[in-house]
Amino acid sequence: MWYWVKTSRFVRWLFPHFVWKMPAGERLVYLTFDDGPIPGVTDWVLEQLEQFQAKATFFCIGENVNRHRTVYDKIRAQGHSIGNHTQTHANGWKTDSSEYIQEFEDCQAQLDTKTTLFRPPYGKIRRSQRKQLEKLGTRIIMWDVLSADFDTQISPENCLENVLNNIEDGSIVIFHDSLKAEKNLRYALPRTLEFLQQKGFKAVALTQTCS
């Protein structure tokens, strides 16, 4: 499996319409969690964040919100930001644009809150889809650091190294509150939060007007 752990400046320059990273200068880091909510996994993530007084952004799948409303309500009650991750985890490269926008809107309806934050599953989205979403006032959030917790071929230690070796002021970091990522996540997340605390970083949620 091939992927960028650290998104290069060239890629960020090539696709300037996406939010890859936040401005540096305040020692802030933006932890994000994709694919939930999932009972057990998301609950544990919330416990870890609360323990370290950290806030994060959860890019939720609409179907999972519908199935696990109590867990979703807990995310909101604890003051974390909510983002749209489509209704069924749709791949933009393999989905007709009108169907993709419907995926976005169906997810929005499940979220019960008007979020402007959207992350395309797999990071795959067509130009036409991006333009339509932007007309709806959406900010497309990508990432600066990929933990690769979803990769079952890497060890939990490697997952942690992916984060600690690349995180910096303003980084947007991806984790996944999913069953597939759970083993790596349970090792890497608390150690990441401890590292941030020791280095004087603050983990905060993305705002609805981030740019």
d(CA 177, CA 35): 6
Domains of the chain: 9-203 (3.20.20.370)
Cα torsion angle, 57, 51, 76, 188, sign = positive
DSSP SS3 for 207: coil
Let me know: does 152 contact 180? Beta carbons within 8 Å.
yes
pTM, entire model = 0.96
d(CA 4, CA 2): 7
Ranking 2-6, 124-128, 157-161, 175-179 by mean pLDDT, the lowest is 2-6
Let me know: does 71 contact 36? Beta carbons within 8 Å.
yes
Task: List, as one string, the DSSP characters of 174-185.
Answer: EEE-STTTHHHH
Angle between helix 69-77 and helix 41-51 axes, rounded to 10 deg: 10
Q: What's the rounded mean pLDDT across residues 49-53?
A: 98
Let me know: does 193 contact 49? Beta carbons within 8 Å.
yes
Q: What's the rounded mean pLDDT across residues 57-81?
A: 98
Per-residue pLDDT tens over the stretch 162-197:
999 999 999 999 999 999 999 999 999 999 999 999
Per-residue pLDDT tens over the stretch 74-105:
999 999 999 999 999 999 999 999 999 999 99
- Cα 164 to the chain's mean position, in Å? 17
The structure tokens listed for 183 are 């083993």
What local confidence, expressed as pLDDT, does residue 4 receive?
A: 85
